[in-house]
Amino acid sequence: MDGVILMKVVLKLSGKNINPNKTTFLKPLVDLWQKGAQLVLIHGGGPQINDFMERMGKKPSFVQGLRVTDQEVMDITEMVLSGLLNKTLVGMLVQHGIAACGISGRDAGLFLAKKHTIEHEGQFIDIGWVGDIIQVNPQLIETLWGNRILPVVSPISGDSDGKSLNVNADWAASQLAIALRAEKLLLFTDVPGVLLDPLNPDSLIRDLSASDIPLLFQKGIVAGGMIPKLQMIQTVLQGGVEEVFIAGGASLELLDQLLEGKSIPGTRVTR
């Protein structure tokens, strides 16, 4: 990656992208930061939370791609996301010479959330302590950037009573990108992008217009964890973000080319 990059980027890593035994995925992030970009990393942690839930005798379950979160699951999720996984990622970045600082949506009131409600065919479905972000206070991120410290964000948020809520990491990344007026929102995941057939990696949709997203939902093409990713994109693009890119971890290696405007494998979503 040559030259200076003056760009605000919110980059979300899936839990599946974070492997402490294989740190090559960090190199493009380190390069981007060292070129001067204003970068925020935000992370999910699906497999790690599942693993700890199973160790504690609990079975993960999801509704519309959102984790059903009772109080015990909330505690596990907060411990894993804001604790173990966040600090693992920070530790790896520090080892690569980056002054990274791990925070959660609760720190300095970064994300204020309220309980998410799901209604299906007139019925209210209770999925527990899942949150929607209603306000972002980016002051802490800007303070860290001002001191060239890289923020690494866990999406766990606080509500107006100070209680923790489990916010989907794609939603948190989306709200953060809007609040920071980021140029790009990059969502890295465990599939090559949005697929016409989720079982066929060759069915990648490379260019997607936000206005086509409702059709993908209608046709039942979007399921599981892809639901929350796509639900927020229209809002993100209307909120001023130029482009959302959804791609597999392998495309991280081509991050420099992506930021130079070149086409790399993944789904580019624009207005």
Ligand X SMILES: Nc1ncnc2c1ncn2[C@@H]1O[C@H](COP(=O)(O)OP(=O)(O)OP(=O)(O)O)[C@@H](O)[C@H]1O
**Residue found by looking up tokens 């229209």 in the block:** 234
Closest CA to 189 of 8, 41, 12: 12
What does 198 bind: Mg ion, ligand X, none (CB cut-off 5 to 8 Å by kind)? ligand X
Residue environment code for 61-79, b if the CB has 16+ CB neighbours within 10 A, otherwise e: eeebbbbbbeeebbebbbe
d(CA 49, CA 84): 10
Nearest residue (beta carbon) to ligand X: 44
- From the list 27-35, 180-188, 198-206, 217-225, the region that binds Mg ion by CB under 5 A is 217-225
- Please choose, out of 77-85, 174-182, 192-200, 258-266, the segment that lies near ligand X by the rule CB under 6 A: 192-200
> Using the rule CB under 6 A, is 195 a contact of ligand X?
yes
> From residue 29 to residue 68, what is the string marking binding to ligand X with x (rule CB under 6 A)?
---------------xxx----------------------
Q: By three-state DSSP, how is residue 54 classified?
A: helix
Told to check if 138 binds Mg ion by CB under 5 A, we report: no
Please identify, using beta-carbon distances, which residue of 102 and 225 lies nearer to Mg ion. Answer: 225
Cα torsion through 174, 175, 178, 184, rounded to 10 = -20
List phi, psi (to 5°) of 122: 80, -5
C-alpha 38/C-alpha 186 separation (Å) is 13
| 15 near ligand X (CB under 6 A) | yes
What are the CA-CA distances from residue 51 to residues 47, 160, 248 (Å)? 6, 30, 22
Which of the choices Mg ion, ligand X, none does residue 60 contact, using the CB cut-off of 5 to 8 A by kind? none
Q: How far is the CB of 195 from ligand X (least distance, A)?
A: 4
Count of positions (residues) in the chain: 271
Q: Which stretch binds ligand X (CB under 6 A): 77-85, 97-105, 137-145, 220-228?
A: 220-228
Q: Does residue 185 belong to the site contacting ligand X (CB under 6 A)?
A: no
Query: What backbone torsions phi and psi does residue 195 show, to the nearest 5 degrees?
Result: -110, 140
Q: How far apart are CA 78 and CA 189, in angstroms?
A: 21
For ligand X, the binding residue among 1, 94, 221, 254 (CB under 6 A) is 221
- If one asks whether residue 249 binds Mg ion (CB under 5 A), the answer comes out as no
Q: Which residues are CB-neighbours of 81 under 8 A, at least 6 positions away?
A: 43, 44, 45, 49, 104, 154, 155, 156
Binding residue (CB under 5 A) for Mg ion from 158, 192, 225, 249:
225
Q: Which is nearer to ligand X, 5 or 204 (CB)?
A: 204
CB of 230 to ligand X, least distance (A): 9
Question: For binding to Mg ion (CB under 5 A), which residues are involved?
Answer: 225
Question: For binding to ligand X (CB under 6 A), which residues are involved?
Answer: 14-16, 44-46, 169-170, 189-191, 194-195, 198, 221-226
